Amino acid sequence: MTSVVERLHGGSPVFSVEFFPPRDEAEEIILWRAIRELEAFDPAFVSITYGAGGSARDRTIRTTGRVAQETTLLPMAHLTLVDHSVAELRNVIGWYAAVGVRNILAVRGDPPGDPNGEWLAHPEGLTYAEELVRLCRELGDFCVGVAASPYGHPRSTDLDSDTEYLVRKLRAGADFAIAQLFFEPEDFLRLRDRVAARGCDTVLIPGVMPLTTPRTLAKTVELSGSSVPDSVARRLDPYADDPAGFRAAGIDLVTEVGERLLAEGVPCLHFYTFNRSKATREIVGRLGLVPARAA
């Protein structure tokens, strides 16, 4: 099984994609259509998000296992600390290994129901993502990633302390970090500079979302924790009542962000897909990240 880091060191820039587990049979059909459509584009890896506890967790494991066993794609499974004892975390990590998954994104996770609510550790669980990184590394030959926040985590007091927490996760044994959503290339590049200034040499991957609708723009605001910059608003606001125009302008904008990041030497662009493939395929095609056989 190839690791995420190995796929990123191939000499040419690549892209990766993120999906979430389906909630029902109809969503599963949509998800697998997107997976098959993107498979021909040979993403470096495919990330499956994680719902703590119950059926959501089980769907994540099942979906990740299917990707490992039924496609040519390299899966990366998410894992969070929310509502899990250490024993349960060990079981989930073991399930991932059993289905052939050796790449894990280790994140603390948000409080159920209210991402900005008070975070409480399970009484028999772990408190910090760096502890989860160590647990993954103790239990097997896993390639482990962590999350990074270009604007700082909402619970961090400032960017310096937030960067220090990220460096601690990386030094605990993480192989790479994926930056959550941001609007302008400089936001990611400043994060990369802060990490480098602390003497931490790591693979840092920017996360991007195709801005195809006002809903995806609002989701970017929600997930990034940042308001829409004037430079972005000037591009998109004129198309608030023009769906086709908004989509075209959004695809252009995200393509330009990708071009700047690739010019700055990032090894990979990580696309949040909402379980759809068309916009991602358009952008990676424009950026020249498509293998010759899929072009």
**Is 164 a residue of the active site?**
no
Nearest 5°: the CA angle 136, 142, 145 is 75
| Cα–Cα distance list, 64 to 44, 58, 89, 147, 151 (Å) | 15, 10, 16, 19, 29
Residues comprising the chain, all counted: 295
Q: Compute CA 140 distance to the chain's CA centroid, rounded to the nearest angstrom.
A: 22
Q: How far is CA 77 from the centre of its chain?
A: 10
Q: In whole angstroms, give the CA distance from residue 238 to residue 257.
A: 20
Partners of residue 77 on adjacent β-strands: 48, 104
Six-digit token string for 51? 């719902």
Catalytic residue among 6, 18, 28, 37: 18
- Looking at the chain, the number of H-run helices and the number of E-run strands are 11, 8
What is the set of active-site residues?
18
